[in-house]
Amino acid sequence: MTQPRRFVVEADGGSRGNPGPAGYGAVVIDPATGETLAEAAEYIGVATNNVAEYKGLIAGLRAVRALLPDGPADDGPQVRVRMDSKLVVEQMSGRWKIKHPDMKPLAAEAARVLPASAVTYEWIPREKNKHADRLANEAMDAGKRGKQWEPSASTADLDTPRSSVAAALPPVSGPPGDATAGAARARAALNRPAPAATATPQVGWAAAPDLGEPATFVLLRHGETALTPEKRFSGSGGTDPELSAVGHGQAEHAADAFAARGTVQEIVSSPLRRCRETAGAVAARLGLEVRIEDGLRETDFGAWEGLTFGEVRERYGADLDAWLASAKAAPTGGGESFAEVARRVAATRDRLVTRYAGRTVLVVTHVTPIKTLVRLALGAPPESLFRMELSAASVSAVAYYADGNASVRLLNDTSHLR
C-alpha cells in the first residue's frame, strides 16, 4: 500500500468591524520540506470574523483537493488543519456544538470537501499563523481598493518564516539548518496524535483559558420616566415617554461611573426615547457613538400600556392570569408574549456577540430585555422573569465566550446612584 500524501493547511480570516469588510487566507504546506504548495485568499465583502475564518478553512481544504487530480484515495490524503480560531477548530473537531445559524452551512460545506477521516484539527496561537493571517489582510487591503487579491502581488510567503509547522516540534539532532532534520520534525508533528479533549465545553471556574476575551454586555436600564415611580406598564406600544428630571440625573450619574471605570468600548441602545436619552448622556462623556438596535426595545404591552398592575387586574383579570401563568400568553390587544420577546432578544444577542467579540459593550435597554438576557445566560425558566428586581438606571453584566457559554457577572447594581 502506498503511503498517504500528507499536507498541512493553515487558514485564517478577519473582519475590520465584525461585521465589516472581511477576507480570508489559506496556505497548503508540504510538512516534509516546509514548501508552500498552494495559497488562496479572497475579499468576501461585509462579514463577521467567524464567517471569514470558516471560508478560509474551506478554501484551504479545496486547495488540497485540487492537488489531488485523481481524488482522495482510500489510503490518503492526511491533512492537519492548523488555525488560531478556537471556535472553528473545536466545532469542526466535533467537541463544540454549532449554534449560530450562519456557521452551520459553512461547517457542513467544509466537511464535504474531504473525507472526515482524512482531516484533523489543531489550534495554534495567532503568532504561529502569520502566513494565513498575512494573506487574509492582503485580501482585505485589495477589497478596500475595490479589487480582488492577486497571487502575483502577494508577499505573504516571502515575509513568513517557514517555521510555523516545525516551531512546536521536539528537537531533532543535526547541524543548524539541516533540511533532513527539519523535515523529520515536521513529519513528527503531523504524525503526533492530537491531544485528548473533553466531549463538552467546560464551564465556570474550569473554563479553558484560551477561549479569548468574551463579548461583555454591560446592561444599563434606562433612567426614570414619569411612569416609572407609579409602576405603570410602559413598553414599545405606548407613548414613548422621555426621561423625567430624576431620570436625567440618573443617566448623568451612570455616565460619571462609566467614565471613571473606563471599560466601555461601544454603546448600543433600544430605539425608544428613554433609552436613547440615557445612552446619549453616557456617550457624551465617553466620546462614543450610539448604535440603535431595534431588537432591544421593550415588550409591547398592548392594551395594558400606561396602566398599573392593579388597573390591569381590574379590567383584564383573565388575560393577566394567563400572562402570569405562561410565557406564550400575550397581553390584551395584540401585545407581545415573553416567548416572542425572548426570540427577538436572543437573535439580537447573537448578532451583537458576533459583532463585538472580545469587546465591552454598554447595552442600554429595558426591564424585559435585561431580565431575558440574564435568564437565558443562566438557563433559567421563563417564570424567573418575575423573580428579578431591576431598578431604574441599574447596571447588570453578562459575558459571552466563544464556546457559547455565558457568565452572569452583575445584577441590579445601583451603587453609582448613591
Rounded CA separation 251/392 (Å): 10
Contact, 217 vs 354, CB < 8 A?
A: no
Strand duo 6-15 + 78-83: pairing: parallel
Rounded CA separation 373/379 (Å): 10
What is the DSSP-derived secondary structure letter of residue 175? Answer: S
DSSP 348-412: HHHHHHHHTTTSEEEEEE-HHHHHHHHHHHHT--GGGGGG----TT-EEEEEE-TTS-EEEEEEE
Contact, 330 vs 186, CB < 8 A?
A: no
Rounded CA separation 114/116 (Å): 6
Instruction: Count Cα atoms within 13 angstroms, Cβ side, for 391.
Output: 15
Q: What residue has cell string 422573569? A: 385
Between the two ends of the chain, the Cα-to-Cα distance in Å is 77
Handedness of CA 144, 147, 151, 155 (dihedral sign): negative
Contact, 304 vs 332, CB < 8 A?
A: yes
Residue 27: other Cβ atoms inside 10 A:
29
Residue from 90, 122, 277, 298 carrying the catalytic annotation: 298
Rounded CA separation 334/300 (Å): 8
Please say if 389 is a catalytic residue. no
Rounded CA separation 288/294 (Å): 19
Q: Which secondary-structure segment (H or E) carries 54?
A: helix 49-66
77 cis-preceded (ω within 30 degrees of 0): yes
Residue from 100, 131, 222, 366 carrying the catalytic annotation: 222
Please say if 253 is a catalytic residue. no
Rounded CA separation 166/32 (Å): 10
Catalytic center residues: 222, 298
